Structure 1
Amino acid sequence: MTTLSHEAVTTAELAPATYRPLLDTVEVAVLAAGSETDWHLTETPDGPRILHVDASGAPVEIRLSLPLGDAAGYWHPKAGWKRTIVADWEGRDEVSLVDGLAAGCLYDYGGATLLTFGVADPVPEVSLRYGVSEENDTYVVHLHLPAAQRPHRLVLVPRSPSVGAAVGTLRAWYAAETAPMHVPETARVPLYCTWYAYNQQIDADAVETQSRLAAGIGFGALIVDDGWQRHARGRGYAGVGDWIPDSEKFPDFTSHVLRVRKTGLRYMLWVAPLLLGPAADCHERWAACAPALAKVPGAHVLDPRLPEVRAHVVDTCVRLVRDHGLDGLKIDFLEQAMVYAGDGQGDVGQALTTLLHELRGALVHVRSDVLIELRQPYVGPGMVPFGNMLRSFDCPADSAANRVRTIDTALLAVGGAVHSDPLLWSARAPVESAARQLIGAFHSVPQVSVRLDTLPEEHIQALRFWLATWRNLRPQLLDGTVEPGRPDDLYTLVSATGEGTQVLTVHVDRPVPVDPATLDTTVLVNATTRPRLVLDVATPGSAVEIEAYAPDGRMIDRRRVELPAGLQNLPVPRMGLATIKSIA
């Protein structure tokens, strides 16, 4: 196989290969065992094309190349904040089942796509190189796929009008190939989390106080995060591994769980079953199975390729759910197993697939509607059989990051309910700050982590209003047709449509295209810094009823008007909301 040389600064310095037309303006070269190999392209009834490569069990390199055109950005599941185009000497990545997905989308300044692809098998470790080839004035993507018993497949989507449309086609293909885990109703309701509110300084009284308040405000579930277990003191993970409740904080953990559940909340518990800290009582027993340091401070990582480790993880998680009457688990830091990737001792993704199959089966046997939360970067198509809550990565008090990360997750969420990172704000801040956090998570299931008993009444009213509004709009926000716009614009105008209602969340001062004549209801969320929105009305003479609400839910305006076509100013409070209802 042609391998990526450490001396090859750019892709132009690699061994040459013969490119052939593939799809639209994309060309492809396929190499295996050091030479070019045959491939063929097939069509599917719903739009994608499948590149088939039979390398007779050898590793494969697939090189994609296309003219730069008017390329503006490149989105992939691990893009983070780097979503404009980069040079091919910079764009490199390693992915696996629990660390992203070998998929990407190149798009132009008009938002239309130039290339959209994804590997059919999300499990194995894949190396990627991508970016602008300065020598050739092209954009390139190189994928290095490991040896496989079956032919390699790469899914390609023809040019589409937007990234949302193209990745939606890719998502639909994965959905047809995947059996996602059952998603209970509880996975789709607002959730209270203890992490930012308390960090590790939690106890039974504090959790039960917040639970009673949360149940009355509109939450349906609770996650008790890090801090419940023995040796949980301060930041870091030097004490993890035993997964036994701290008897000082929780004198009778099982009875505590029952009291919380009686408030109406479902109870979930945080666990990081692959981490092992030196202060854990079980450290000596398991140290030989965890030779590598984790990338989080203070702990090693159990190697999931070992059968005894997989059995230990399953037993630990089942014990917690069964013995304490839990509704589910937040399973954290699975991506830390990637420290073992590429060491020649076996594929980490394959081992984790085996582990997670065993874990899901054992947990479902204990509780058929068990809740399992997974977190970026391991929420891709390969993981949805093993979890039904897909959470964005940590971004405390960062509403913009929550918006971007939840939408990034949702683009390829073929199952499960996408959740925000827990929302955090200061009780001393104005009510607009609280509303801003809630709006940032609007297109996902909101999680919240503030001390509810310290919030001023205005914040409580805002929280109650936005959670109720979110529940009413859930069919559009979670299940509707979503168009978020260009990824490098950071999704500043997001549309979600379904059942005759369109929800438009506006984060920058810009004209907002609306056509109330074609809808029953248009909901406008004003997350800008201005106390109004500029509407670009498509159909003239639309008779409508308009209601406007303050951030805390107070109605401040109601009127009936005819909207002329073109640009119109609509007064809407900052961090407030307006509804436009058509009048027959």
Structure 2
Amino acid sequence: MLLDHFKDMLHEGQSLGATWIMHSDGLTIETTCEDGPASKGIVFDVTAANPGATATIVIGKPLGSIQRFHMVGSRCREPLPADWAGVTQVSLVNSAPMGCMVDDADRNVLSFAYSFAQDEITMRYGVDEEHVLFVVMLQIQRVPGHSRLLLMDDGLPLDETMRLLVEWVADGSAPLPMADKALEPVFSTWYAYLQNVDAETLGRELDGMSRLGCGSIFIDDGWQQYGSGRGYSGCGDWVPDPVKFPDMRATVRRFQDAGVGVVLWIAPLLLGEKAHVFKTLERYAPIHDDGLGRQFHVLDPRRKAVRDYIGGVCARMAKDYGIAGLKIDFLEQAGAYQGQPLENPEPGDVTDVGEAMRLMLERIKTMLIENCGQVPVVEFRQPYSSPVIAPYSNIVRASDCPADALTNRIRTIDERLAAGNRVVHGDMLLWDVNAGAETCAAQILASFFAVPQISVPPSAMSNGQYESCRFLLSLWRKHRNVLLNGRLQPVSSILGYPLVHAFDGNGTQVSGVYAPDMIIDVDADTRTLIILNASTENNVTIRLRGDGGTVKLTGHAYDCTGAITMQFEEDTDTFRENGDATITTIPVPTYGILELALER
């Protein structure tokens, strides 16, 4: 449908095997002598005769074995949408102009990336039913004079393909250094209290969250003055509510003394009419959003006065309160100004929203580094997933999915594939405090290959839930290096990753089982094997591959609270001839853990 609708404005261009490129008037697309990442793929030069004009690039591929289209920052509702349904407004703060068409084994059939990832692009994609193709159309709002397009069709696994695409789009940009607190479990106030948060309540929970192993507390929406009622009419001043937090610096110091860093939520582009600064900044926030009672104006980041104000606010918060960093939200609101005229420009204003956001984020980054006294924690959330925005945060969190363990797992693994040097956090974990300990374990295990964020007050948990949380977070901290820094190998993106592995290269393997009938492949050279049984079965099955020698397996199975349920010891023969292997089924409770040592 897309091709037939736009064919009169498109010209045939370059090709890569059976893949072809078409483009609109005014563009020239030529192959270059530049190798793609790791010498994979082909890079094309894109030259525009009229920089700043609109332009279109279309990539087409015979459907062949394509089973799913993988994007950055979000998922299509269908693995393969129709081309009249697949559309995403790509920008600096929403997704990225890149993607991967994979087969049923998650091998790359065709992947692409476009270098101009800062400005807004309408990305259309899907199955062209008339021509039995998968089509991607990039409708560029303001094409640059020169840009590049990468195509790869090498059959690499999805995880490796995404790593290469991310490196190519990032183009060597320096990441924000990693903050130590970004690598520790978090207690988040959002689902626990929503906006009904205060220093006294949090102080009562400090010991409980500290004993759970939380290295920081993210104080979400509600700490700021007028932060109540689920609306944003008080946003803009970013000062503490004098009743809820009468002495924010003292509160921060109390948590710091217990080894728990404090990160504050901020939505820098929101301006509410109750804010004291509203009259001053109102003229820079002409767009108003009152949907669902949200009640805020959107500051225009193209204005230098706005960027200066926001930078000053972040510097003041870091310096005056002694916080570890910021949880930055609602950046996508900048898109409201895309295509809008900039009236009565002042010195330092810029016309492009993408460039304005880059300048604003650079300003925030500089102010935090200068005033935090340490490497700051900076959290973004999906869909702020572009490699181009990565230098401005060191955390990217799965977007909100309260109590939805399946969605949290899928989003964290998706994000791991695109995060580059950033660490991925799961969405805040919520469960019913009247349910069993397994309910708590299900949520934690779903975000085990990311940094867990707990959002149930420790004092509200049952004894079983607390013990489960403590045990699993302790296990997570013990194996944090392989979970976060090891080679991630997720299985079957089209099924939502029912099996996920991580390897550290030194003999440790952690495998998460999230569905029945999964078989975990284990090399006989493995030394430590950790299996998370997040399925409905009371056992796990491993397939041991080796050279025909004998491997001794010893270890324990635990229930979700850490109680030992079984001691295991077995000598197992291994085989590699003809692909044969030894299969062993071991009893492990649902939402339990198996720890094994392997010895030749």
For the aligned pair, the TM-score class normalised by the smaller chain equals over 0.9
* SS of match in other structure, 2:361: helix
Tell me, yes or no, if the aligned pair for 1:24 and 1:159 is still in contact at 8 Å.
Answer: no
Return the offset for 1:241: 1.6
Tell me, yes or no, if the aligned pair for 2:265 and 2:329 is still in contact at 8 Å.
Answer: yes
Structure 2 gaps, min length 5: 343-350, 574-580
Q: Structure 2 matches for 1:68-147, cutoff 5 A?
A: 68-80=63-75, 82-147=77-142
Q: 1:14 is matched with which residue?
A: 6
Return the offset for 1:529: 0.8
Residue 529 (structure 2) pairs with residue 522 (structure 1): yes
Q: 1:581 is matched with which residue?
A: 597
Q: Structure 2 matches for 1:195-206, cutoff 5 A?
A: 195-206=190-201
Q: Quick check: 189-198 or 159-168, which moved more? A: 159-168
Return the offset for 1:119: 1.7
Return the offset for 1:83: 4.4
Q: 1:215 is matched with which residue?
A: 210
C-alpha separation between the residues in 2 aligned to 1:437 and 1:412?
A: 23
Instruction: List per-residue Cα deviations over 1:487-534 (Å, max 9, x = no partner).
Output: 221111111111211111011012313224121112111110111123
Q: 1:351 is matched with which residue?
A: 356
Residue 279 of structure 1: which of 274, 284, 289 is its match?
Answer: 274
Return the offset for 1:190: 0.6
C-alpha separation between the residues in 1 aligned to 2:192 and 2:567?
A: 37
* SS of match in other structure, 1:154: strand
Letter in 2 for 1:14: F
Percent of residue pairs identical: 32
C-alpha separation between the residues in 2 aligned to 1:458 and 1:287?
A: 51
* SS of match in other structure, 1:534: strand
Letter in 1 for 2:62: P
Instruction: List per-residue Cα deviations over 1:246-294 (Å, max 9, x = no partner).
Output: 1111122221211111111011111111101223232222222111134
Residue 336 (structure 2) pairs with residue 339 (structure 1): yes
Letter in 2 for 1:73: R
Instruction: List per-residue Cα deviations over 1:521-556 (Å, max 9, x = no partner).
Output: 121111101111233333464321132111011122
Letter in 2 for 1:189: E
C-alpha separation between the residues in 2 aligned to 1:484 and 1:344?
A: 45
Letter in 1 for 2:430: L
Tell me, yes or no, if the aligned pair for 1:507 and 1:526 is still in contact at 8 Å.
Answer: yes
Tell me, yes or no, if the aligned pair for 2:300 and 2:334 is still in contact at 8 Å.
Answer: yes
C-alpha separation between the residues in 2 aligned to 1:87 and 1:81?
A: 11
Q: 1:37 is matched with which residue?
A: 28
Tell me, yes or no, if the aligned pair for 2:233 and 2:296 is still in contact at 8 Å.
Answer: yes
Q: 1:28 is matched with which residue?
A: 21
Residue 542 of structure 2: which of 528, 532, 535 is its match?
Answer: 535
Size of the aligned set, in residue pairs, is 574
Return the offset for 1:150: 4.6
Q: 1:317 is matched with which residue?
A: 314
C-alpha separation between the residues in 1 aligned to 2:312 and 2:288?
A: 23
Return the offset for 1:176: 5.2
Q: 1:436 is matched with which residue?
A: 442
Q: 2:513 is matched with which residue?
A: 506
C-alpha separation between the residues in 2 aligned to 1:165 and 1:44?
A: 14
* SS of match in other structure, 1:458: helix
Distance 1:52 1:299, change over 3 A: same
Q: 2:44 is matched with which residue?
A: 51
Return the offset for 1:162: 2.3
Tell me, yes or no, if the aligned pair for 1:507 and 1:528 is still in contact at 8 Å.
Answer: yes
C-alpha separation between the residues in 2 aligned to 1:361 and 1:475?
A: 29
Residue 168 of structure 2: which of 169, 173, 185 is its match?
Answer: 173
C-alpha separation between the residues in 2 aligned to 1:453 and 1:38?
A: 62
Distance 1:45 1:236, change over 3 A: closer
Q: 2:420 is matched with which residue?
A: 414
Q: 1:400 is matched with which residue?
A: 406
Q: 1:475 is matched with which residue?
A: 481
Return the offset for 1:384: 1.6
Q: When the two structures are superposed, what TM-score results if normalisation uses the length of structure 1?
A: 0.94
Q: Quick check: 9-18 or 164-173, which moved more? A: 9-18
Letter in 1 for 2:556: E
Letter in 1 for 2:564: M
Return the offset for 1:196: 0.8
Q: 1:183 is matched with which residue?
A: 178
Residue 224 of structure 1: which of 219, 226, 229 is its match?
Answer: 219
Q: When the two structures are superposed, what TM-score results if normalisation uses the length of structure 2?
A: 0.92
Distance 1:520 1:241, change over 3 A: same
Instruction: List per-residue Cα deviations over 1:426-463 (Å, max 9, x = no partner).
Output: 22111111001100110101111111012122222111
Tell me, yes or no, if the aligned pair for 2:524 and 2:544 is still in contact at 8 Å.
Answer: no
C-alpha separation between the residues in 1 aligned to 2:401 and 2:97?
A: 24
C-alpha separation between the residues in 2 aligned to 1:194 and 1:365?
A: 27
Tell me, yes or no, if the aligned pair for 1:32 and 1:59 is still in contact at 8 Å.
Answer: no
C-alpha separation between the residues in 1 aligned to 2:477 and 2:25?
A: 52
Q: 1:4 is matched with which residue?
A: none
Tell me, yes or no, if the aligned pair for 1:211 and 1:222 is still in contact at 8 Å.
Answer: no
Letter in 1 for 2:173: T
Q: 2:465 is matched with which residue?
A: 459
Residue 380 (structure 2) pairs with residue 374 (structure 1): yes
Distance 1:78 1:11, change over 3 A: farther
Q: 2:493 is matched with which residue?
A: 487
Distance 1:566 1:459, change over 3 A: same
* SS of match in other structure, 2:380: strand
Letter in 2 for 1:361: T
* SS of match in other structure, 1:14: helix
C-alpha separation between the residues in 2 aligned to 1:79 and 1:97?
A: 14
Residue 244 (structure 2) pairs with residue 253 (structure 1): no
Residue 303 (structure 2) pairs with residue 303 (structure 1): no
* SS of match in other structure, 2:532: strand
Tell me, yes or no, if the aligned pair for 1:175 and 1:415 is still in contact at 8 Å.
Answer: no
Tell me, yes or no, if the aligned pair for 1:40 and 1:53 is still in contact at 8 Å.
Answer: no
C-alpha separation between the residues in 2 aligned to 1:493 and 1:364?
A: 39
Tell me, yes or no, if the aligned pair for 1:75 and 1:83 is still in contact at 8 Å.
Answer: no
Instruction: List per-residue Cα deviations over 1:17-42 (Å, max 9, x = no partner).
Output: 44455334311123343xx6242143
Letter in 1 for 2:456: V
* SS of match in other structure, 2:242: coil
Distance 1:45 1:11, change over 3 A: closer
C-alpha separation between the residues in 2 aligned to 1:79 and 1:421?
A: 14
C-alpha separation between the residues in 2 aligned to 1:338 and 1:276?
A: 15
Return the offset for 1:416: 1.9
C-alpha separation between the residues in 2 aligned to 1:503 and 1:23?
A: 38
Letter in 2 for 1:242: D
C-alpha separation between the residues in 1 aligned to 2:564 and 2:150?
A: 49
Instruction: List per-residue Cα deviations over 1:318-348 (Å, max 9, x = no partner).
Output: 1111111111111111111111123354321
Q: Quick check: 510-519 or 371-380, which moved more? A: 510-519
Instruction: List per-residue Cα deviations over 1:43-102 (Å, max 9, x = no partner).
Output: 246133322111142543211111100221111124435241111111112111011111
Structure 1 gaps, min length 5: 1-8
C-alpha separation between the residues in 2 aligned to 1:545 and 1:410?
A: 32
Letter in 1 for 2:149: L
C-alpha separation between the residues in 2 aligned to 1:188 and 1:177?
A: 23
C-alpha separation between the residues in 1 aligned to 2:97 and 2:109?
A: 17
Tell me, yes or no, if the aligned pair for 1:59 and 1:148 is still in contact at 8 Å.
Answer: yes
* SS of match in other structure, 2:7: coil
